[in-house]
Amino acid sequence: MPTLTDKKSRRSGRPAAELIFGDLWTFDPAPETADPKLKPRYDLFIGGKFVAPSSGKYFDSINPANEAKLASIAHANAADVDAAYAAAAKAFATWGKLPGKERAKYIYRLARLLQDRAREFAVAETMDGGKPIKESRDFDVPMAAAHFFYHAGWADKLDYVAPGRKVAPLGVVGQVIPWNFPLLMMAWKLAPALAMGNCVVIKPAETTSITALKFGEIIADAGLPPGVVNIVSGFGDTGAAVMNHPTAVKVAFTGSTEVGKIIMRSLAGTDKKMTMELGGKAANIVFDDAPLDQAVEGIVNGIFFNQGHVCCAGSRLLVHEPVADAVLAKLKTRIRTLRVGDPLDKNTDIGAINSQEQLSKITELVASGVKEGADLFQPACKLPGKGYYFKPSVFSNVTMSHRIAREEIFGPVLSVLTFRTLDEAVEKANNTAYGLSAGVWTDKGSRILKLSTDLKAGVVWANTYNKFDPTSPFGGYKESGFGREGGRQGLLDYAKLI
């Protein structure tokens, strides 16, 4: 319940009085010490075993927190991709006919083995990608295991996926995953494909290949038949070979809208099935009757989780004018407490930006916001001297014409706009090329139900943000892509109706 002070400040537009302790207390370092068990070199995983790339070429995987080399990663060429698809096609002859209850045993085993090595994988994910260890530990790894558990449960119940119809696997599918959630996106892609009886050739992002290739160890330990899952690492040329290979009957891609368009153009005229989970520029809408302190926590989670490297990040905050000043003041106070630094420190809230390239993009877009007249707020915090870091940033006095309100920044940068009426909020929220997600903060259930229909977004969160579950489908509209991942709907995207 709001306090009397809260109610008075809401009416006056001034924030409630708050206790500010400043730097009276400091945090001692709390480093994660688990061994990630990294190898100096990672080969391709093809046909159930690790093999060297035919070209003999490797590239470096860099820790964005300190710019140190973590490992050498194999660079697959077209010949390696051919070998991976040949292994998958051979495996499909038996895997696709295996009873669902038998496939389920393998998928359950993947989930349990990942749980057994959870701490190791969490540290490897943080070192390779830059996200805080508490996010890798508490979200990425447990959610990846949950997707395998969930889809293992579906494997022997496929007669109920499409009521009135029978389903069959498609065959061999090609998949490409992004760098923001390497292990979790791998689980999102592999689990439904395997449960339905398909075989897979999958390519991780070049900056975050380690946990995907480490997962090859789990696949081998689980005893999956050779060739059911094949992992090929590399750059854009490797991804293009995976997407365009004639053996693939379906391709699935998660990444930027620009690359998604290139893939769709290259596959135009073919009979390949496609699912695309692309970019976003989500609106997080706060009404004057919302629980403001709760909303501020949701706003912070919506944009600063994983350094803003989230396709469904709430990067546009739309605030009802009567509470706009109060929300902005509370938000600035909350952001001052965020700790930016070593991702392996358990106290860290915002870790390292994934790469120098991404840091440059964020920096350029933030500079454009300042140049175009928006007001930038960044807390006073000392960034590490080495590595790729960016302060949490909030822009106010933003208009719909600003680049920061239209383009996906994919970093810890929030743009704040205001609205007067519900219709104006909907119009501004939908005035974007994207349609992946949205958030609504209000005390009125009827308003939530109306906005869940009016907002053109695949996911609409109510009085929360960034909540995920394997049972719930995820995906977008417009330039955010098509198809769904998770739930019964995600399974159907890997099925043939007969």
Encoding tokens for residue 232? 């090929």
CB atoms within 10 A of CB 221: 13
311 is catalytic: yes
Distance CA 484, CA 349 (A): 30
φ and ψ at 231, to 5 degrees?
A: -120, 120
CB atoms within 10 A of CB 280: 29
Angle between helices 210-222 and 118-129 (to 10 degrees): 160
- Listed residue (314, 341, 344, 343) closest to 438, CA to CA: 314
Distance CA 242, CA 232 (A): 9
Burial of 414 (0-12, 13-18, 19+ CB in 10 A): buried
Three-state DSSP class for residue 207 = coil
Distance CA 438, CA 285 (A): 8
φ and ψ at 142, to 5 degrees?
A: -60, -40
User: Which residues are 399's β-sheet partners?
Assistant: none
* Half-sphere exposure for 390 (CA within 13 Å, toward CB): 32
- Listed residue (257, 300, 294) closest to 432, CA to CA: 257
Q: What is the dihedral of CA 100, 106, 108, 109, to 10 degrees?
A: 170
- Listed residue (152, 121, 95, 105) closest to 38, CA to CA: 121
Return the exposure string of 124-133: e unless at least 16 CB atoms fall within 10 Å of the residue's CB, then b: bbbbbbbbbb
φ and ψ at 278, to 5 degrees?
A: -115, -150
Distance CA 358, CA 178 (A): 13
Catalytic position from the list 206, 277, 408, 485: 277
Q: What is the dihedral of CA 390, 185, 121, 124, to 10 degrees?
A: -40
The arrangement of strands across the sheet holding 459-462 comes to: 375-377, 393-396, 413-419, 316-320, 283-286, 437-441, 459-462
φ and ψ at 314, to 5 degrees?
A: -80, 70
Catalytic position from the list 32, 120, 135, 311: 311
18 is catalytic: no
Encoding tokens for residue 186? 């791998």
CB atoms within 10 A of CB 152: 24
Instruction: Supply the residues annotated as catalytic.
Output: 277, 311
